Structure 1
Amino acid sequence: MELFFLVVLILLMVIALTSGFPVAFSLPGSAILAIGLAALCGWLFADDASAYFAEGGPIQWLSAGVTNFRSLYWDVERDTLIAIPLFIFMGIMLQRSKIAEDLLVAMAQLFGPVPGGLGISVVIVGALLAATTGIVGATVIAMGLISLPAMLRNNYSKSLACGTICASGTLGQIIPPSIVLIILADQLSSAADQASTMRKAEYKEATGEFAMPSAFDITSASAGDMFMGALIPGLMLVGLYILYILITALIRPKSAPPVPYDGKYDRQFIINVLLALVPPLGLILVVLGSIILGIATVNQAGAIGAVGAMIMGGYRLTGGQRNSYYPAVLAIGSTIAIGVVLSFYDINIKNIKNQSDITGIALAVVAVTGLLVAVIWSAWRAYKIENTLNEVMVETAKTTSMVFIILIGAAMLTSAFRGFGGEHLVKEFLTGLPGGFWTQFVVVMVVIFLLGFFLDFIEIAVVVVPIVAPILLADPGANITAVWLGVMIGLNIQTSFLTPPFGFALFYLRGVAPKIVKTLHIYKGAVVFIGLQLLALVIAGMFPIMVNYLPNRTHLTSETAPPPMNPRLQSCMEDYVFNIYDTEGDRLRASIDRVKAADISYLPKKQRESLAAGFDKASATFGLVENIRLAEQKLADYSPDYRPLHYQVRDLQEEIRDRNQLITDYERDFVRISREDKVDQVRLDNLQQKISEIKSEQAQLEAQVPAEWVSARKGYTDLSSAVKKAKSSYRNNVDGAYEAVTELRQVIDDAEALAALEPDLLGLEEVITEVTSKPMAKEAMDKIKAVESSLGSVASASAIKSKLSKARRALKKKPNTEKALKQLKQGLKVFANEVEWRRRAATELAPALAEYDDAIKHSIGLRLQKRLTIDQAEFVASCQSVHRDISLNF
């Protein structure tokens, strides 16, 4: 019966959507009706409202709906969606203030004389508007009103002109900042959590281990990651569009002839182009640059974009007036002033220490006040001139409300879909397809592409993605990242705006196109660009590094970058350092031999033995690397023959687990029915028979497990354990090798800091000698403790501290000045020895250790550095951008 109500749910949704009922109410309405009908039928025919639900019941569905509602609006940790109204405001403001129109005109004048130049200018402007607005309807309509008549006037092919405008207008879906990417990031963050839970459960089931290594976990995605991941594919799409127009112009010159500029290429022309081009480009660089550099979060960047768009709109709306640019100049000057103040002063109102801090805060207040004046001034202009601000705010509120209501409705629909077992059916269908992950992925992409004919991108993102994404992300064979999956879905969803007959971009253009342009021209022109989008989809799918590299690089070079010790970086970092060992091994060995020859006989026994052991470990590094490579080679040689058997048995075990679950469900139903007042013996007999049949199937499946499975699995796990052991030995070894050097260098560097404490130590003798009463003893103890505290900041001064601590305790209850003085003198003796050998080491050994440190810190000592260098981060980012099969570990 669950399947019946699942079909009812889908039919209700399809009927509501095709009848033109608003999407925001179709999704939750379908869910409410289907849930209510299932609960009513369960109550009427089975005396249980939850009887016809695969999971839970109407109460659980209601609880899930409340949880989803709260997660959208009250979960402070999930603030990604705040960026949506900010970017919507930015886009509508730029469109209403005619910044977009100026950009189109300027670019057409600039590129027009080139063959196909007018079409190329439309593509470039589409990309720029995508990066500043992200509003497809506004972009297509603006370019349709301005560029289409110009292209037709200059004898451009109607199909080419329409296709170029429609495709360029949809770039806002994939080029950041994009509302689609923000919504996908929000959906994929939840999907990644579910996938992580699924993968951990699979790992536990397969290995029996409770904790899965973090290196095997799912890589999630934030909105910033999605922006970075989509940037290169988006630019690639722009390049494909431009290349197609150029080739068309060369092969068929009459389809895209050059358009000569009637005016002069003089100073005024350059000024006009710069005024039209530089502000939007500057806004793009500020918004995206602040995210890439880690200066701002996506929400903060959205706020910057909204304010920037309002300032730009303020001077554009008053174009021609003498004071048009005053607010913009004031805003730029104030922003520069804020940056200068921050570079010279530590602005912290809660930590004012001196007059300099007060001066810095005063200057910052003046600069911020100037910026606020500029923003308020621009907002007042936008409010007074043509009621622009009010209209932009209303449109922003409408669009944002639509998005959020659809999100809530989709969450309700998804919960209902899961309640009727739809998610389990989808998982069974996808995992049952031959060909593994890639077959599943292609099927999902085809379904999304077909849904694009009928549904908007928001419905696809919030209905389909939560269902299929966890299944795809959890697959350890493909081991894809959430960013890559999101960008692939985003590229696919982009086609929903172009696919006939319901592509929204086609309708937008049809609404503003002249009558000479037929609907068939628009459809025909869009088809080629759909093909280009699919080509971009294939390229991004074949080369995941295009998507994953920028997010990884940004993460590894940001202020919050993980240290090299992070477990998830080890595999790629070892690839990096092993290359160094291969190419610079002789240099590293020579450095180790040179430092071994240094005289360390005068060092204390502990430091001497630690340093000598560190040198030996450094020498042993190369042999341990060879052990890793040998172990990895044995595993690689074993894996090809083992892999088919592994997949065969794991599939059988999955089917056995499914039947176990069925048996559990039937046994639960058996117990429930047997406890009813009127026991239905027929149903009990049927259930008993089904349980027997399933157990028989289960036994048959167990019999299909090859006899060699246990020994083959043991062979693989033994080899895998050997690799892990070899890597663990290597990592412990290099850590020990480098720790000895860094610790001793710190001790030597603190020689003068230790020597500077000599007067304080010598002064304690007089303090202790004068103790004649308990109050004086307490005062002496405080002074000794103060010196102990000073010694605490000096590396490896614990021996001296220990003697002082014993001297202090001798004065605690019954003051024993003789014992305290004895401990102090021993401490002074240790102090003198420490200062002596440290000063000697600072002269004789420190230069050799510094040279040795420089030689090994980016290879043997890399794990213990605070952060990766730029070159190292780039290598690791590139390495991590490739998806690696980890399925044999499961």
Structure 2
Amino acid sequence: MSWIPLLMFAVACLVLLSGYPVAFALGGTGLLFAGAGMLTGHFNPADLTFVPNRLFGIVENTTLMAVPLFVFMGVMLEKSKVAEKLLSSMGQLFGPLPGGMGLAIILVGALLAASTGIVGATVVTMGLLSLPTMLRQGYQPQLSTGLICATGTLGQIIPPSIALVLLGDVLSNAYQDAQLKQGLWNLDTVSVGDLFVGALLPGLILVGLYLLYVMIISLWKPHLAPAFQRDDNSPRSWAGLLGGLLPPLLLIAAVLGSILTGTATPTEAAGVGAFGAMLLAAGNRQLSRAMLGEVVRATSRVTAMVFMILIGASLFSLVFRGFGGEESVHALFNSMPGGVVGATLMVMLLIFLLGFILDFIEITFVVVPIVGPVLLGMGLDPIWLGVMIALNLQTSFLTPPFGFALFYLRGVAPAEVKTAQIYQGVIPFIAIQLLMLGILALFPELATWLPHLLYG
């Protein structure tokens, strides 16, 4: 009955497309198939006894504690005007150059990604602050909107990233499953810190590719990205420039530096980041009881959503395995031409296509636990695989029609910017991300060299 797991996966995707809440769609699909399987004798009810252990494992997982802390840090920075000061400072520095505003937005997006890791906050903030100015200065709407959407998604790959936290937890379990199936008992693990370090170089290279694209466009077709024309003759303030740049840079150094040097775990670094974000908000005179209440409520909503999805996905995964789904996937991959290369290519293509219709959290909790143990059992490096999946998931925010970055920007863009222009604007950046995937596939050392150098 190897077709049952495939049918179960297809039904889950269809239910997700219906718009039903993700956690209940996954858990409900699992329970529906478990009930039908028990009635027909194809599912062992004893498999459901592992559910309480899974739930307890989620609750006591210290790695996942980083999720609410990083969300708190990102929301606090969003509401404390740090992004506004940062964009103003970068605009002063790069604005007079051809394509200068575009370069400034990419660098601000990278810095916000390294300090917040929240895509929606970055896209909305830069859309409100920079898009009207860019259009007024004569930037092409497609280029402007594409830039803002693409740089907003850098929070998916540049640490600290919530996507990498979730991927690290899922891949760690998948890696241990793969080792157990090979008869190994002295188990190695892949940590969130490993993924953070592994994603650093690919993330910076992706930022460099974005910058290179804007520079080429501004030199080849200057009318699409003209130099910034100031509306007044006020002198540049280096004090203001440093005041906008230094606080987020110090926060990034505190969070990432503590992880890279091994001083703190990602969870501990997330606590440092949350406290540092509160200090920055207090320094900007934005910290108040009302604002703190808004941040806590927003953090609670996002955290509850993530953990409910994780619980539903755990139930779905248990039932999928109970029907022999992992063996079916393994047999499918082994029968593919090209061996491990063909299997990896198929998984990456599947994740890319699912990104058109599903969110990165859904793909992480549904697809990765299914394919991860099989690919890792075929000998792939878990850090490289994790960074490849994270890069691929990043495109899910840009791919029409359901790319969340497109929705975020559409909600704050001026009325004269058409939705079709936003869709057209992201196409070159999707191509750049796919190019980065190809580069990482050809040179896996870009993801594995730094973790092995630091941690052995």
Q: Where on the TM-score scale, by shorter chain, does this alignment land: which range?
A: over 0.9
Query: Residues 156-555 of structure 1: matches in 2 within 5 Å?
Result: 156-200=139-183, 220-262=189-231, 266=235, 269-318=237-286, 381-383=287-289, 387-475=290-378, 479-555=379-455
Alignment check: 8 A CA contact 1:27 1:410 kept: yes
The 2-side partners of 1:11 and 1:503 are apart by 21
Higher relative contact order (CA 8 A, sep 6+): 2
Q: Which residue identity lines up with residue 66 of structure 1 in the other structure?
A: P
The 2-side partners of 1:113 and 1:445 are apart by 41
Alignment check: 8 A CA contact 1:220 1:483 kept: no
- Deviation per residue, 1:658-706 (Å, 9 max, x gap): xxxxxxxxxxxxxxxxxxxxxxxxxxxxxxxxxxxxxxxxxxxxxxxxx
Q: Which residue identity lines up with residue 64 of structure 1 in the other structure?
A: F
Sort the Cα spacing of 1:10 and 1:188 in 2 relative to 1 into closer, same or farther, 3 A.
closer
Cα shift at 1:70: 1.3
The 2-side partners of 1:15 and 1:499 are apart by 19
Cα shift at 1:18: 1.7
Pairing 1:24–2:23 present: yes
Match for residue 68 of structure 2 among 85, 88, 93 = 85
The 2-side partners of 1:195 and 1:7 are apart by 21
Runs (5+) with no aligned partner, structure 1: 43-50, 202-210, 319-380, 557-890
The secondary structure found in structure 2 opposite 1:317 is coil
Q: Which moved more, 1:420-429 or 1:521-530?
A: 420-429
The 2-side partners of 1:487 and 1:287 are apart by 20
The secondary structure found in structure 1 opposite 2:42 is coil
Cα shift at 1:58: 2.0
The secondary structure found in structure 2 opposite 1:516 is coil
**Structure 1 runs (4+) greater than 4 angstroms displaced:** 262-266
The secondary structure found in structure 2 opposite 1:25 is helix
The 2-side partners of 1:412 and 1:505 are apart by 29
The 2-side partners of 1:8 and 1:238 are apart by 40
Match for residue 64 of structure 1 among 50, 55, 58 = 50
The residue number in structure 2 matching 1:782 is: none
The residue number in structure 1 matching 2:12 is: 13
Q: Which residue identity lines up with residue 185 of structure 1 in the other structure?
A: G
The 2-side partners of 1:460 and 1:395 are apart by 23
Q: Which residue identity lines up with residue 539 of structure 1 in the other structure?
A: I
Alignment check: 8 A CA contact 2:398 2:406 kept: yes
Sort the Cα spacing of 1:17 and 1:274 in 2 relative to 1 into closer, same or farther, 3 A.
same
Between the two proteins, the alignment pairs up a number of residues equal to 456
RMSD: 1.6
Cα shift at 1:263: 5.0
Pairing 1:107–2:10 present: no
The residue number in structure 1 matching 2:137 is: 154
Q: Which moved more, 1:403-412 or 1:63-72?
A: 63-72
The secondary structure found in structure 2 opposite 1:20 is coil
Q: Which residue identity lines up with residue 39 of structure 1 in the other structure?
A: M
Runs (5+) with no aligned partner, structure 2: none
The 1-side partners of 2:233 and 2:331 are apart by 67
The 2-side partners of 1:262 and 1:161 are apart by 20
- Deviation per residue, 1:796-830 (Å, 9 max, x gap): xxxxxxxxxxxxxxxxxxxxxxxxxxxxxxxxxxx
Sort the Cα spacing of 1:237 and 1:175 in 2 relative to 1 into closer, same or farther, 3 A.
same
The 2-side partners of 1:10 and 1:433 are apart by 20
Cα shift at 1:152: 0.6
Cα shift at 1:238: 0.3
Cα shift at 1:528: 0.5
Q: Which residue identity lines up with residue 333 of structure 2 in the other structure?
A: L
Q: Which residue identity lines up with residue 453 of structure 2 in the other structure?
A: R
- Deviation per residue, 1:243-283 (Å, 9 max, x gap): 000000110010000103445675x6111111111000000
- Deviation per residue, 1:447-476 (Å, 9 max, x gap): 00001011110111111111111111111x
Q: Which residue identity lines up with residue 406 of structure 1 in the other structure?
A: I
Look at both structures and tell me which one has the larger radius of gyration over its CA atoms. 1
Alignment check: 8 A CA contact 1:109 1:261 kept: no
Cα shift at 1:9: 2.8
Alignment check: 8 A CA contact 1:3 1:420 kept: no
Cα shift at 1:197: 1.8
Alignment check: 8 A CA contact 2:6 2:325 kept: no
**Identity percentage over the alignment?**
50
The 2-side partners of 1:392 and 1:430 are apart by 45
Q: Which residue identity lines up with residue 246 of structure 2 in the other structure?
A: V
The secondary structure found in structure 2 opposite 1:272 is helix
Cα shift at 1:7: 5.2
Cα shift at 1:195: 1.2
Q: Which residue identity lines up with residue 167 of structure 1 in the other structure?
A: A
The 2-side partners of 1:16 and 1:316 are apart by 45
The residue number in structure 2 matching 1:96 is: 79
Match for residue 42 of structure 2 among 31, 35, 52 = 52
The 2-side partners of 1:157 and 1:2 are apart by 52
Sort the Cα spacing of 1:260 and 1:439 in 2 relative to 1 into closer, same or farther, 3 A.
same
Alignment check: 8 A CA contact 1:111 1:118 kept: yes
Alignment check: 8 A CA contact 2:26 2:316 kept: yes
The residue number in structure 2 matching 1:34 is: 33
The 2-side partners of 1:15 and 1:539 are apart by 33
Cα shift at 1:309: 0.1
Cα shift at 1:107: 1.1
The secondary structure found in structure 2 opposite 1:150 is helix
The secondary structure found in structure 1 opposite 2:151 is helix
Sort the Cα spacing of 1:236 and 1:7 in 2 relative to 1 into closer, same or farther, 3 A.
closer
Cα shift at 1:105: 1.9
The residue number in structure 2 matching 1:719 is: none
The 1-side partners of 2:233 and 2:93 are apart by 11
The 2-side partners of 1:261 and 1:251 are apart by 23
Alignment check: 8 A CA contact 1:2 1:52 kept: no
